């Protein structure tokens, strides 16, 4: 398959014609929602989708409702030709690339909110973000009706929000999380990494290592509050401009933890070169990490 021959649709009606034909043949369908600017992390989602289902749909839509004033909606990477070529090389069956008018005809009158999981962490600095994400994902799932939808664990809070959304709205879809794909120095792959300067990129590559250091201190018996405070100071010393959070949370509920006695996630959000980067690692009962 080539970028010229891969099927691409931009309307809900054309999407439904394709997926209903597949369903009529008894074929399973996986959806990989993206905002484009594809990188190896997205491709890992596609590869997992192709292993799980007979057909794979990738949506490309830079969703305006999850961006706030002053954020990077206008500058968010957009390169449909490059994205098409990457997806064609992986044998994706269909690209769904709707316009904002197709997704939100007449504007946004209905909004989906997921309480508790959609609060705290990224929601503190970006209160608009998870309602925007939950609403557009609910729409994409309703439009495509996939058997499986895949999301990366880098956006861990988002993954839990979407799992709860699917459960609470009785959506007949499996939400499948895929482990974070990293650069050679450990930096979690993100479309926003393209906005980093050479110096900023070098600093950003230390984030995951710092998370590992904090996790090891906790595993060695350091008090969680002390390890987190030292970690926040270390991030600033490394050159990050600001730290939105560095917190230990329950892996299922995202409740704050003051000790690592059950499965947990160590999550961070930092700023460098005007880019906001997030990452997380897993701790299991007893403070061990992986």
Query: Catalytic site residues?
Result: 42
Give the H/E segment covering residue 63: none
How many CB atoms are closer than 10 A to CB 134?
24
As a whole number of angstroms, the distance between CA 153 and CA 192 comes to 16
76 close to 62: Cβ distance less than 8 angstroms: yes
Output the six-digit token pair for 172: 């007949």
Strands 29-34 and 264-272, sheet pairing? unpaired
What whole-number distance in Å separates Cα of residue 13 and Cα of residue 60?
Answer: 16
Instruction: Identify the residue whose tokens are 């959304």.
Output: 165
161 within 8 A of 177, measured Cβ to Cβ:
no
Q: Look at the block and give the residue holding tokens 């590992």.
A: 212
> In which order are the strands placed within the sheet that holds 275-283?
242-250, 264-272, 275-283
Q: Is 39 exposed, middle or buried (0-12, 13-18, 19+ CB in 10 A)?
A: middle
- Burial profile 93-131: b = 16 or more Cβ within 10 angstroms, e = fewer: bbbbbbeeebbbeeeeeeebebeebbbbbbbeebeebbb
- 289 SS3 class: strand
The DSSP string of 150-178 is EEETTSHHHHHHHHHHHHHTT-S-EEEEE
């Amino acid at each position: 398959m080539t970028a010229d021959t891969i099927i691409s649709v931009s309307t809900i009606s054309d999407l439904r014609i394709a997926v209903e034909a597949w369903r009529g043949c008894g074929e399973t369908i996986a959806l990989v929602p993206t905002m484009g600017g594809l990188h190896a992390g997205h491709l890992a989602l596609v590869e997992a989708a192709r292993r799980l289902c007979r057909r794979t749909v990738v949506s490309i839509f830079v969703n305006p409702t999850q961006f706030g004033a002053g954020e990077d909606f206008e500058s968010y990477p957009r390169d449909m030709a490059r994205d098409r070529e990457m997806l064609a090389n992986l044998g994706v069956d269909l690209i769904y690339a709707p316009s904002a008018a197709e997704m939100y005809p007449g504007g946004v009158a209905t909004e989906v909110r997921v309480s508790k999981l959609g609060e705290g962490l990224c929601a503190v600095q970006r209160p608009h973000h998870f309602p925007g994400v939950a609403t557009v994902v609910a729409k994409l799932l309703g439009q495509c009706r996939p058997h499986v939808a895949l999301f990366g664990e880098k956006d861990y809070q988002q993954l839990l929000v979407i799992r709860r959304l699917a459960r609470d709205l009785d959506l007949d879809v499996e939400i499948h999380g895929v482990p974070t794909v990293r650069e050679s120095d450990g930096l979690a792959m993100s479309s926003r990494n393209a906005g980093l300067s050479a110096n900023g990129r070098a600093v950003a590559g230390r984030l995951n290592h710092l998370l590992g250091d904090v996790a090891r201190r906790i595993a060695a018996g350091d008090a969680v509050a002390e390890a987190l405070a030292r970690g926040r100071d270390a991030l600033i010393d490394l050159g990050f401009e600001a730290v939105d959070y560095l917190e230990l949370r329950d892996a299922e509920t995202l409740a704050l933890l003051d000790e690592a006695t059950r499965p947990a996630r160590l999550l961070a959000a930092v700023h460098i070169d005007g880019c906001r980067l997030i990452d997380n690692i897993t701790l299991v009962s007893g403070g061990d990490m992986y």
